[in-house]
Structure 1
C-alpha cells in the first residue's frame, strides 16, 4: 500500500510544474505526512498550485551597443554562467548579392562559404581544422539569401580566445579558394542537384520562389543552379570576398563571459584586422502580382505536393508581430491551427499542413504547404483557400488569440535559452536594424496585441485573391482550378480573372 502511495504521488508531481529537485529539506516532513494519508490528499495539495501565477515573467538579456570608430553596429550580452564566448560576424553578402559580382552568378556566396576553410597560402584545410580542434573551438561559415555568417565559439580564456580569433581573421583575409577545393565542392553539388530532381518538395520550393520573385535577387536558390555554379572560379570568389566581406558591410554580435571593456577591445581587434570597404547596395522591391498565378510541375506519383502563398513583409514592418500571431493561429500551431483542423482533423486529407511567414531585408513570403493524395488534391485546395479567405474576412476568435499569445510568450524564452541562441538573436537584431532592446519590446508588444490589430494586419497584408499556387502532381485540371478559386471568392465570371498558367516544368527547375 505504501508503494502505491509513493507511485501516485510521483505521478502527480511529474504532471505538475514541480519536481522533487525543487523540494527543500524543510519540506520533507510535509511529504511524509502526505504519504501517510490517502492519494486524494496528494491531489488536493497539488491543486493548490492553481494559486501560483499562471505566467512567469522571463527577463530578456540586457543588450549593449558597443561603439567603435568605424561605426559598425556591435551588440554584446555579458553572460557569466559559462566560460565561453560566441562571436558572429554577419555580412550583407548572402545569395541576394551574388549578381553584385557578376550577372547570373547564382550560388557564389554559398560556394565562398563552403570553400572558406579549405585552406590559405599558409595553412591547409587539415591544419585549420586541427588548430580549432586543439583550442576547443567551433568555427563555421554559412550563406543564406540575406546573410553571410561567420561564427566562432571558444573558451573565454585568452590563451584559447586570442589564437582562435587570429585564425578566424586569417581565414577571412587569406582564403585562397583553390581549384582542388572548388572541384571537390562542384562534384558534391552536382550530386545534390540530381537529388533535387527526385524530391518534389525541393522542386516545388524552387519554382515557388521563381514564380513569386521573378527577376528579383531572391528568385534563385542560394546554392545556385547547375549552369551557374559551373562558371564560378577562384578569381570570382576572391572578388566576392574583397568586395563584400568587409567591415562596413557587416555587424558584430558577441555573447559570453567577458566584461564590456573586453568585448569592446575584441570588437576593435576584429574591425582593425578586416578589410575596409563599402556597404552592399540595397535590394530592389519585388513586384506584387495582381492575380492568381498557377504553376504546375508534372511528377509521376500518387501524391500531390502543394504550396500556396504570396509576397509578405520586410523584417522592419510594424505589423510583423501581429502577422506572426495570425500565422501561428492559421497554420503554425500544429493541431490547434485552423489549417490543420480543416485539412487533417475534419477531413483526413493530409498528415500535416502548415503556414509560414518569413520576413527579410526585402519583402519575404507568406505561404502554406501540404501533401495529399492525387484524388483529394482539388478538394483540399478548395478547403485551404476557403479557410484562408474566411480567416482574413471573419472576426478573430478572442479565445484562440489569447491561447496563441500565451503559447508564444511561453516559448519565447527558448530564443535566448543559451549563449548560442542569444548571439543568433543579436546578429539578427543588428542585421535587420532593430532596436537593441528588441527582445524586451517583443514580449511587451506581443502581450498587448489585440484582435483588432491582428484583423487589421491580416486585411492589409494577406490576400486570398493574389495567390501563387505551385502544384507538383501527376495531373492537374488547371481550368477547373481557376474556376473553383474564383467561385471561392464569389466571382461569378471566372473569365474576368487573368490567370497565369504554366503547363510544363520550367527548364530552370532542373538547375
Structure 2
C-alpha cells in the first residue's frame, strides 16, 4: 500500500511538471520598454520579438493601410544598408528576421545562434531595422503597387469579400472595422509611413520578448540596446470599446459555386474572466473538429459542408466570436438554418458532461505541444507581455481549463454571445 501511495505521488509530480510553464522574468528597461525573458540553455538558439502598439486599428482616419505598409518596409532599407545587404548579412550569420501585423500589434522577430560571433551582428541588424528604417522611395513605390494589386485581387475572391463585409458589419464605427482598400493605400505617401513610424514605434509602446541561451544580465543589456534608440512618447491611448452591432443579415451575390457564410459579433477581450469558460465551451460547439456539435450536425448528419468552425479571437478590445462554413449555393439557406439551431441549442444547454470532459482532456493533453520549442515559447510569452496577462498564465493554464463547469460556460456564453447582436454575411448564396 505504501508503495502504491508513493507511485501515485510520483505520477502526480510528473503530471505537474508536464504542465509547468516556463519561468518568466519581467522588468522595465531604462528606455521605457517592457521586457519579458525566459532563460533556456537547452539549445544554442536565441529568439527575440519586439511588439509595438502599432496594429491596423491605429491607422489614422483616412489612412487605412499605413500600419501594414509601415511594418512591411521596416527591413527593406536602413541607415547604411539596403534590403539586399540586410538579407545577405543575415544569411552570413544564419539568422532569420520576420515580421507581422494584426489589429493590435506590429511585430519583428529574430532567430539567431547564441554564440557571440553570430548573435551580435544579427542583433545589430535588428536594432538598425527598429531605430533607423529609411523607407526608400523606390521600395515604397514598389510595395505600395504590390499591395494595391493584392487588394484588388482579393475583391474578386468570395472568402475575402465575406471577411471584409463581416468585419465592417461587426465594427461599423470602430477601428477594428477600418480596412485598407486599393484607394486608401494608393493615396498613401512616404511621409505618411514616416509619420506613423515616429508616432507608434516608440519605446513606451514596445514590448521586448527574449527566449533562449542568454543570461538575465545579457538579456537586460540586449533589451536596452534594442530600444534605447527609439523615440520616447507619452503612454499609449487605449482603443475605444466597440458598441455591439444590431442584428443583421447581408447577402452579397457572387458567381462562385460555393456560398461563404459567416456569423458572429464582438465578444471577448484579452484578460476577460470569461476567457476560459468561453474557449473550453467552444471546443464542444465548433472548435473541436469532428467531435464538435457543428461538425456533427452540419457535415456528418446533413452533408452541407466539408468543414465548419467556430472560434473566439480575443483582442485588446472585444474581438470576434465567429462561426464560418462553405456550402453549395443551393444549400446555403438550409445550412444557415441548421447552424443557427445548433448555436441556439448550445446557448440554452451548454455542453453535456461528456462533451466537457472530452474538451478538457484534449485541451490539457495537447497543451505541452504549445511549448515544445523556443519559437512557441516566444509566441506565448510575447502574447502574455503585450496584453499584460499574469506571468503564471502558462503555468496555470491546465488548472484554469480543468476547473471550468457547465454552469460557467452557459453563463459566459449568455453574457458574451448574444443572438440579438449577431451579424450574418452570406456571399454567393441564392
- Normalising TM by the smaller chain, what interval? over 0.9
Separation (CA, whole Å) in 1 of partners of 2:42 and 2:278: 35
Cα shift readout 1:49-75 (whole Å, capped 9, x = no counterpart): xxx88x943321111113433453211
Corresponding residue of 2:123: 165
Secondary structure of 1:438's match? Answer: coil
Question: Where do 1:38-437 residues align within 5 Å?
Answer: 56=15, 57-99=18-60, 103-221=61-179, 224-290=180-246, 292-437=247-392
TM-score between the two structures when normalised by the length of structure 1: 0.79
Question: Measured at CA, do residues 173 and 70 of structure 1 come closer, stay the same or move farther in structure 2, by a change above 3 Å?
Answer: closer
- Displacement of 1:277: 2.0
The superposition leaves residues 417-449 of structure 1 with CA deviations (integer Å, 9 ceiling, x where unpaired) of 110111111111011111111101222111111
SS of structure 2 residue aligned to 1:218: helix
TM-score, normalization by structure 2: 0.93
Gaps of 5+ in 2: 1-10
* Bigger mean CA deviation after superposition, 168-177 or 312-321: 168-177
Q: Corresponding residue for 1:478? A: none
1:379-424 superposed Cα distances (whole Å, 9 cap, x missing partner): 1111110110110112530111011011011111122111011111
Deviations 1:126-157 (A, max 9, x none): 11111111111111222211111011111111
Would you say the 8 A contact 1:91–1:245 is kept in 2? yes
Maintained 8 Å contact 1:312/1:363: yes
Distance 1:217 1:412 in 2: 33
The answer (yes or no) to whether the contact 1:107–1:225 under 8 Å persists in 2 is: yes
Instruction: Indicate the structure (1 or 2) with the bigger Cα radius of gyration.
Output: 1
Task: Determine whether 1:470 maps to 2:425.
Answer: yes
Maintained 8 Å contact 2:332/2:429: no
Q: Give me the whole-angstrom Cα distance separating, in 2, the residues matched to 1:122 and 1:395.
A: 60
Q: Name which structure has the greater RCO, CA cutoff 8 Å, separation 6+.
A: 2
Tell whether the 8 Å contact from 2:250 to 2:424 is kept in structure 1 after alignment.
Answer: yes
- Please report the RMSD computed on the Cα atoms of aligned residues, expressed in angstroms: 1.6
Task: Show structure 1 runs of 5+ residues with no match.
Answer: 1-51, 476-511
Once residues 171 and 196 of structure 1 are traced to their aligned partners in structure 2, the CA distance between those partners, rounded to angstroms, is 30
**1:465 is paired with a residue of what secondary structure?**
helix
- Return the alpha-carbon distance in structure 2 between the equivalents of residues 118 and 79 of structure 1: 31
* Aligned length in residues: 417
Kept in 1: contact 2:25–2:36 (CA 8 A):
yes
Q: For the Cα contact (< 8 Å) 2:298–2:304, is it kept in 1?
A: yes
User: 1:270–1:302: structure 2 CA closer, same or farther, 3 Å change rule?
Assistant: closer
